[in-house]
């Protein structure tokens, strides 16, 4: 276990899977500047570590993240813009998948952190929302960009303007989350999924993931051209080997080895 920002962020590696925990449970895992920068650092370190293939991002003690530490915001004009500043935790997109194990509140900036993840696992305790609306605090964590792209403009505007909470079932219905775990088991389900993803050939998966992110804003022709470019290396390195394994009989009953 490695800690960052004085223990406000924790990182643990088990095999090829990194678990990142926001660890401020007395504040529902709200992030002050140190914790936000710490989360940004651990995500960057995960992305640069060739031995780590998938990350699971969660919060301590049954809460995901309540956003920014408003007590610090009240006393500071230099709060880190989590998406817009290079050291912010939701700046850019990583080269590897991140799974959000979202129990409890993922609200205000915590919603932005959940949206930064590729996949969100929820349970009946999960709540998403722009709860900072009531305090006059704007979003600077990528939510106003990522949320409409994920669930559509109309639903995103509903959440952004009204600040209302969205529970697990509605989140699943909207595509805000895609997997539901039994109550209290979001982390277990996310870790199981992470191990499954880590067992796949990585190059083709990352190529497809990157193409899916890059296509937004491109014309169909340009997006397809980019997909072709990204796929070339994976085809050369992995596709022929995978096809040979399939031809030899592997996978025909839903079972396959990782390589």
Three-state SS sequence of 29-72:
CCECHHHHHHHHHHHHHHHHCCCCCEEEEEEHHHCCECCECHHH
Alpha carbons within 13 A on the beta-carbon side of 121? 22
Sign of the dihedral through C-alpha 90, 36, 60, 158: negative
The one-character DSSP state at 134 is G
Distance CA 18, CA 171 (A): 25
pLDDT of residue 258: 46
pLDDT tens figures, 20-36: 999 999 999 999 989 99
Domain ranges of the chain: 2-198, 202-247
Partners of 9 in the β-ladder: 4, 22
Query: Distances in Å between the alpha carbon of 57 and those of 38, 73, 155, 206?
Result: 13, 24, 25, 19
Length of the chain: 259
Which residues does the chain have with pLDDT short of 50? Answer: 246-247, 252-254, 258-259
Contact 114, 66 (CB under 8 A): no
Query: What does each C-alpha distance from 146 to 20, 118, 123, 129, 194 come to in angstroms?
Result: 21, 11, 22, 14, 22
pLDDT given for residue 247 in this prediction: 47
CATH says 2-198 is which class?
alpha beta
pLDDT at 226: 87
Query: Given its phi and psi angles, is residue 88 left (phi above 0), alpha (psi -120 to 50 degrees) or beta?
Result: beta
User: Residue 254's pLDDT is what?
Assistant: 46
pLDDT at position 77 is: 59
What are the beta bridge partners of residue 236? none
What is the pairing mode between strands 166-167 and 179-180?
Answer: unpaired
């Amino acid at each position: 276990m490695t800690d960052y920002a004085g223990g406000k962020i924790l990182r643990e590696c088990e095999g090829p899977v990194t678990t990142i925990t926001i660890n401020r449970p007395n504040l529902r895992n709200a992030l002050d500047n140190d914790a936000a920068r710490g989360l940004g650092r651990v995500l960057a370190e995960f992305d640069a570590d060739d031995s780590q293939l998938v990350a699971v991002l969660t919060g301590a003690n049954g809460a995901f993240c309540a956003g920014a530490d408003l007590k610090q915001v009240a006393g500071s004009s230099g709060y880190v813009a989590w998406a817009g500043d290079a050291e912010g935790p939701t700046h850019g997109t990583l080269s590897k998948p991140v799974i959000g194990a979202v129990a409890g509140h993922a609200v205000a900036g915590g919603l932005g952190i959940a949206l930064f993840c590729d996949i969100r696992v929820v349970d009946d305790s999960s709540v998403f929302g722009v709860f900072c609306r009531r305090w006059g605090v704007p979003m600077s964590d990528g939510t106003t960009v990522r949320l409409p792209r994920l669930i559509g403009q109309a639903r995103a505007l509903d959440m952004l303007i009204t600040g209302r909470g969205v529970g697990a079932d509605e989140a699943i219905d909207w595509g805000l989350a895609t997997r539901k775990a039994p109550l209290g088991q979001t982390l277990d389900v996310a870790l199981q999924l992470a191990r499954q993803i880590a067992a796949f050939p990585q190059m083709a998966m990352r190529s497809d993931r990157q193409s899916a992110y890059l296509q937004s804003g491109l014309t169909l022709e340009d997006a397809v051209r980019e997909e072709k470019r990204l796929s070339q290396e994976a085809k050369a390195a992995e596709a022929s080997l995978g096809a040979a394994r399939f031809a030899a009989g592997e996978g025909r009953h839903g079972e396959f080895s990782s390589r």
